[in-house]
Amino acid sequence: MIIVLRPGATKKQVDHIIEKVKKLGLKTMVSRGVERTIIGVIGEEDILRVQPLEAFPGVEKVMSILKPYKLVSREFKPENSVIDVEGVKVGGKKIVVMAGPCSVENFNMLLNVGRKVKSSGARILRGGAFKPRSSPYSFQGLGEEGLKFLRDVKKETGLKIVTEVMDTRDVWMVEKYADIIQVGARNMQNFNLLKEVGMSKKPVLLKRGMSATVKEFLMSAEYVLSAGNFNCMLCERGIRTFEDATRFTLDLNAVPLIKQLSHLPVIVDPSHGTGKWDLVAPMAKAAIAAGADGLMIEVHPNPEEAFSDGEQSLVPYRFEAMMKELCVLAKAMGRDI
Ligand code: PEP
Ligand code: MN
């Protein structure tokens, strides 16, 4: 159930409604938009049906959201959410590019890549310090040492940092260094992790599970928002289909679909979505044409030697060339990059 307030409803009126709803044993989430304030009510909605909430001062309408996801839905918040990552706005007119190596391998390589992607127009540096690998014998990431490298490259370049957390026990540590906490595809339905990052003050980038439907994806985001963190962006990174010529099938249908269903920003990762470096630029362009708010791209100076995902990583000069093409396309779409 959502309670939509009239434009200009006072704080006193909002507080009064919240107090009333809480007394009934229900949880509230307040979304203060530019236009109006909306109160989301979570819990057994039947209790509310007997309350004449529409009669409360300041209330315009009371709506029941039939979809299983409430706070992430467009009905809850009609305008796009714009997430402020220390001054970098995700979800606005400007398309945000997050780029960097799959894994943080060492400081020098990270700094080198960071400087190059920044000069090509990326505003956020990606790099995993905790790596979800299919084999326990593969490189697992540098852990906190890797996070420190990310922090140091941030200091040198001014790039913001997005990095993955895999374990609830590490959220406190990752949020100390990261500007955006990434929840990877394999953890999209790790509900305890979702609740934990939902309690963080840092923005979250939630990747779609490789076998998750759009509905399940949005339900996972609902976990993050319902724990109080509204700064959640969604990342389409490919799903598993019968097609095995590419690593995954990048589901670009999901981009305009999620933009219809939800107010949250949508990021596309064509690196994992294709698994092949020479498909990354074409699919990055397609993602922008489909309405993506941002891109996540793997870049490595020497893909042959990469600790992970070399085959899908762009070398810096190819990244630069792609960014130039994306600039033209973004303009054609009425956006900037
Ligand atoms: C990553 O971004 O490094 C990653 C592991 O991606 P995904 O969770 O989408 O596989
Ligand atoms: Mn990777």
CA of 174 to the centre of ligand 2 (A): 18
Give the ligand whose atoms come closest to the C-alpha of residue 296: 1
Range scoring the smallest mean pLDDT among 63-67, 87-91, 234-238, 283-287: 63-67
CA dist., res. 145 & res. 23, Å (int): 47
CA of 320 to the centre of ligand 2 (A): 19
CA of 45 to the centre of ligand 2 (A): 42
Considering the chain, tell me which residue range(s) the CATH 3.20.20.70 domain(s) occupy: 83-332
**pLDDT at 94 exceeding the cut of 90:** yes
CA of 67 to the centre of ligand 1 (A): 28
Top pLDDT among 76 and 135 is at 135
CA of 80 to the centre of ligand 2 (A): 28
Look up the CATH number of domain 2-63. 3.30.70.1140
Across 137-165, average pLDDT: 98
Q: Mind listing the pLDDT tens digit for each residue in 8-32?
A: 899 999 999 999 999 888 889 888 8
**pLDDT at 316 exceeding the cut of 90:** yes
Q: Mind listing the pLDDT tens digit for each residue in 39-50?
A: 988 887 777 777
Look up the CATH number of domain 83-332. 3.20.20.70
Range scoring the smallest mean pLDDT among 17-21, 141-145, 173-177, 292-296: 17-21
Among 135, 272, 299, which residue has the most ligand 1 atoms within 8 Å of its CB, making it the best to mutate?
A: 272
Residues with CB under 6 A from ligand 1: 102, 128, 132, 164, 184-186, 207, 237, 272
With bands split at pLDDT 50, 70 and 90, how would you rate the model's confidence at 63? confident
Considering the chain, tell me which residue range(s) the CATH 3.30.70.1140 domain(s) occupy: 2-63
Q: Mind listing the pLDDT tens digit for each residue in 247-281?
A: 999 999 999 999 999 999 999 999 999 999 999 99
Atom of ligand 1 nearest to the CA of 184: 8
Phi/psi for 75 (5° steps) reads -60, -40
Atom of ligand 1 nearest to the CA of 207: 9
Q: Mind listing the pLDDT tens digit for each residue in 193-242?
A: 999 999 999 999 999 999 999 999 999 999 999 888 999 999 999 999 99
User: pTM for the full model?
Assistant: 0.93
Atom of ligand 1 nearest to the CA of 309: 3
CA of 126 to the centre of ligand 2 (A): 10
| Diameter over CA atoms, the chain | 67
Across the chain, what does the average pLDDT equal? 95
CA of 10 to the centre of ligand 1 (A): 44
**What pLDDT is stored for residue 335 in this prediction?**
97
Three-class HEC string of the chain: CEEEECCCCCHHHHHHHHHHHHHCCCEEEEEECCCCEEEEEECCCHHHHCCCHHHCCCEEEEECCCCCCCCCECCCCCCCCCEEECCEEECCCECEEEEECCECCCHHHHHHHHHHHHHHCCCEEECECCCCCCCCCCCCCCCHHHHHHHHHHHHHHCCEEEEECCCHHHHHHHHHHCCEEEECHHHCCCHHHHHHHHCCCCCEEEECCCCCCHHHHHHHHHHHHHCCCCCEEEEECCECCCCCCCCCECCCCHHHHHHHHECCCEEECHHHHHCCHHHHHHHHHHHHHHCCCEEEEEECCCHHHCCCCHHHCECHHHHHHHHHHHHHHHHHCCCEC
Among 162, 164, 211, which residue has the most ligand 1 atoms within 8 Å of its CB, making it the best to mutate?
A: 164
Q: Atom 10, ligand 1: which residue's CA is nearest?
A: 185
Q: Atom 6, ligand 1: which residue's CA is nearest?
A: 184
Top pLDDT among 61 and 172 is at 172
With bands split at pLDDT 50, 70 and 90, how would you rate the model's confidence at 33? confident
Give the ligand whose atoms come closest to the C-alpha of residue 207: 1
CA dist., res. 50 & res. 4, Å (int): 18
Q: Atom 3, ligand 1: which residue's CA is nearest?
A: 102
Across 59-72, average pLDDT: 88
**pLDDT at 114 exceeding the cut of 90:** yes
